Structure 1
Amino acid sequence: METAILFESYHHGNTKKICDAIGQKYGITLIDARGPIEDLEKYDLIGLASGVAYGKYYKTITDVIRNKLPHNKNVFFIYTCGNPNKDYSMQVKEIAAGKNCTILGVYGCKGYDTYGPLKLIGGINKENPTADEINEAIKFFENILRRCTDE
Structure 2
Amino acid sequence: MIISIEENKLSFNKDFLDNITIEIALKLLGEIGKKIKWEKVTISYTPDSSKYIDIPEFSEEYRYQVWLSPTNRKGAEGMLWLEPPYFTGTKENKTLSKHQATCFIDDIDKTPYSIALYSASGRVYLTNGSEGSNIPINSVWVLRQEV
Task: Give the TM bin, normalised by the shorter chain.
Answer: under 0.3
Higher share in helix: 1
Quick check: which has more Rg, 1 or 2?
2
The alignment's TM-score, normalised by the length of structure 1, stands at 0.24
| TM, length-normalised to structure 2 | 0.24
Higher share in strand: 2
